[in-house]
Structure formats: C-alpha cells, structure tokens
Amino acid sequence: MKDNKYLFIIVITYFVLGFININFALSGLFCMMLPFILLVRNRKKTWCQGYCPRASLLNATGKVASKFSLKTPAFLIRGKMKWIMLVYFSISLLFITMTTIRVGLGFSPPLEHLRFLIVIPIPYELPQWVVFENPIPWLTHLSYRFYSMMMTTTVIGVILSLIYKPRTWCAICPISTLSGEYIKYVNK
C-alpha cells in the first residue's frame, strides 16, 4: 500500500475553502465519487491503496500519538461498527437530499451553520471571506450539509487515529465497506 504522505494537504485545503465560501464544499462530491469510479474500473480498492487524502491525514495525525496508542477494540475492527457507520452515512445522504429538496421547493429556509452528526449545531459561525450575491438557497444548504458530513467523519477518524492505530477509521469507513461488498459481488 502506497503512503502518499502529502495528500493530507487536500483535506486541509478542502476545509479552508469552506472558510472562503461554503459552496466550495461541493467539491467533496467529486472526491466521494472517485473511489467508486476507480473501483468499477479496476475491481479493487485503488483509492484506498494509495490515493485517499483522508488516509494520508490519519497517518499523519496517528503518528503524533503512536507511542501512546491503545489496542484497537475488536468491535471496531471485526464487529458491527462498520455497518452502523454505513447506516449513518446512508441516513446522512438521504437527509441531505430530502432537506435540500425541501429548501429548493421553498418549504424551509437553508441551513447556514454547521452540524455535527447531522443534528448537533456547532456554536461557531463559519467565516465567509468571499460572499456571492444572490446565492441559490438550496445550494448553500447542500454545501453546509455536505461540509458538516465531511467534518463529522474527519473528526471521528482523527480522534480514532489519536487513540488507536492511525487508520482505525478505515475499518469502519463506509467507502471501504461498500467497496468490499462490491468486490465480493463481482468476484462471485
């Protein structure tokens, strides 16, 4: 497995871009699709094996606390946790889609702050250094929701990397779970 150790800069750039204007958060959609495009093309976890910026970040943060790291609990590696994370991920995407449609139809105002784990509001207003005139409300809503989801999973991943092994998150990452199931399916 390659360790492209500077790829974590992409993750940091992504979150900084959100400070410039939240609509940049939608660039994460591209990053989310890329692992699956490579998966279907190569029939293996190409993304996970050397191109994932988040894995690079977790390797970097995990090294900071590597001397004090605890043994990873079995429920994280082999238990149901990966399925729980997949359910969270699916609910998040469904929630993002449904609420964006509601905002688009004018039934509710757009979200204009970040949320942790879908529902917990972050008591901090994201600065917007560049403000577009007449922003499209549903696009703003989608951007805040997407940024919140990326922030939540990154924070969980970093905390796990500091407590346990650097890439503990990878054992429960929904992209890895879905990729694994796809590979099993095509190899049948």
Contacts to ligand SF4 from residues 157-176, by CB under 6 A: 169-170, 173, 175-176
Contacts of 5 (CB under 8 A, 6+ apart): 56, 59, 60
Least distance to ligand SF4 from the beta carbon of 141, Å?
26
When binding is defined by CB under 6 A, the residue of 11, 31, 39, 52 that contacts ligand SF4 is 52
Least distance to ligand SF4 from the beta carbon of 58, Å?
7
User: 141: closest CA among 90, 94, 107, 99?
Assistant: 99
Radius of gyration of the chain measured on its C-alpha atoms: 17
Least distance to ligand SF4 from the beta carbon of 68, Å?
22
Tokens of 144: 């805040």
Instruction: For residues 75 and 164, give the distance between their C-alpha atoms in angstroms, rounded to a whole number.
Output: 13
Assign residue 3 a region: left if phi > 0, alpha if psi is -120 to 50, beta otherwise? beta
Task: Determine the 3-state secondary structure of 85 from DSSP.
Answer: helix
Nearer to ligand SF4, 24 or 169 (CB): 169
Nearer to ligand SF4, 111 or 170 (CB): 170
Instruction: For residues 142 and 26, give the distance between their C-alpha atoms in angstroms, rounded to a whole number.
Output: 8
Nearer to ligand SF4, 39 or 111 (CB): 39
When binding is defined by CB under 6 A, the residue of 7, 11, 22, 48 that contacts ligand SF4 is 48
Rule CB under 6 A: say whether 111 interacts with ligand SF4: no
When binding is defined by CB under 6 A, the residue of 11, 55, 149, 150 that contacts ligand SF4 is 55
User: 10: closest CA among 52, 42, 38, 45?
Assistant: 52
When binding is defined by CB under 6 A, the residue of 25, 54, 99, 168 that contacts ligand SF4 is 54
Binding site for ligand SF4 (CB under 6 A): 35, 47-48, 52, 54-55, 169-170, 173, 175-176
